[in-house]
Every structure is written in C-alpha cells, then in structure tokens.
Chain A
Amino acid sequence: AQKVTQAQTEISVVEKEDVTLDCVYETRDTTYYLFWYKQPPSGELVFLIRRNSFDEQNEISGRYSWNFQKSTSSFNFTITASQVVDSAVYFCALRGGFKTIFGAGTRLFVKA
C-alpha cells in the first residue's frame, strides 16, 4: 500500500527564518513520482515540484530546495529566508501508476 506521512501539522516561524517541511513515504513500486503542492488561503492547490524515483539529485529553485533520499524514503522541502507570502498549507504527494495520494499537509505560518 502507498502512504505519505507529514508528521508536522503546523509550523510557525518568523519572517526570514529557514524552515524545513518533512515528508516520509511508503510504496512498493520501483517507479514512482513525488510531489509538493502548496495550498494558499485562497484554496487552490498549486504544483511546486516533481521528482521521479530514479533521480535523487537535490533541487534548488530560488528560496525553495528539496532533499530526496530513497534510503530513508523522505522528500523534505526547505524554504530559505521565509516570507509572509509563504504562509499556506503544503502537501507532499506520491504517485505510482496513475493515482496520486496526498499527505495530511503541514500548515506553515510565517509571521512578520
């Protein structure tokens, strides 16, 4: 069975702090994709990044970076120098085959 666990329910930081959102997944598939999505207060889920199971290279995009480690089945997301606009719920997701399943999400509060 596939499962995504985001153990952090809520995180609160002060602007300019770095913050890491944890994601642990379970799957028996050898080929799969991992994703992060952002859900701002307006409600619409927005895609941030996709990683396939054969590519463990870390990725950086501006203030965002992702650390994928198959050995620990983790796909963590770090925001550097957080900003108030980063406040949202962040979901980690796993796709094997055609179905994408989501974790419960981590709500991030960034205070000015």
Chain B
Amino acid sequence: GAGVSQTPSNKVTEKGKYVELRCDPISGHTALYWYRQSLGQGPEFLIYFQGTGAADDSGLPNDRFFAVRPEGSVSTLKIQRTERGDSAVYLCASSLGGFNTGELFFGEGSRLTVL
C-alpha cells in the first residue's frame, strides 16, 4: 500500500511475555520513528532510525524495549517481559529524512494490551 503499515493492529498478551510489533514505512522514506501513545496523551517519542541505524533511542523507557531496522525499510519494535504499564498504542511514522522535511506520516498503530 501507499501508506505506513503496522501489524498487528491489536495484540493482547500476558504479563511477562515477549512481543514484536512491525512497521512497514512508505517506500523511499529513510527516516522511521516509533512513538507510544497512552490513552488521553500525545504520542511519546521512543526511537528514530535514519536508514538502518538508530540515530536517537533516548525515548526507549528501559532495556526491555529494543527496535531494529536491518535493511533500512521494515522495522520491528521488540518488548521483552511485558508489563501491564506497557499497554498503549504503538505508532510508527516515516518521513523522507533529512532536516528540511520534518512532516511525519503515521500508521494506524498497534494497540498492545498486557493482561
């Protein structure tokens, strides 16, 4: 498709389990971002990729969270030993990259519920 694609759209898991969330950005977009949005809040920055490398991972809350983008396109956000507080909508966005553009194109998000 033409937009940012995220899978799964919904994920329910039990506390302590491992979860992977996938993002397929717009073709040609070199910059990719992960955000987390809790109910009633704005998107909270997690990590930014330029190409294959994580240029800024300062928003990852702790070492249970990790993200990769091995070929500079699809990205996977990985959460180990999930906790109830990880429940949120995880948003992926992409952009053309570089400083002059800035506009982000968002996917519909992956809603994670940790029971």
Q: Which of B8-66 contact A (CB under 8 A)?
A: 31, 33, 35, 40-45, 48, 50, 55-56, 58
- Asked if residues B108 and A100 are in contact (CB atoms below 8 Å), the reply is no
| Interface of A (DSSP majority class) | strand
**Number of interchain pairs (Cβ within 8 Å):** 57
| Most A C-beta atoms less than 10 A away, residue of B33, B44, B99, B107 | B99
Q: Does A64 contact B (CB under 8 A)?
A: no
- Asked if residues A45 and B48 are in contact (CB atoms below 8 Å), the reply is no
- Asked if residues A35 and B106 are in contact (CB atoms below 8 Å), the reply is no
Of the residues A37, A44, A105, contact of B41 by C-beta under 8 Å? A105
Q: Which residues of B contact A100 (CB under 8 A)?
A: 33, 45, 102, 104
- Asked if residues A43 and B108 are in contact (CB atoms below 8 Å), the reply is yes
B1–chain A nearest beta-carbon distance, Å: 13
Residues of A within 8 A of B (CB): 4, 6, 33, 35, 37, 42-47, 50, 91, 95, 97-105
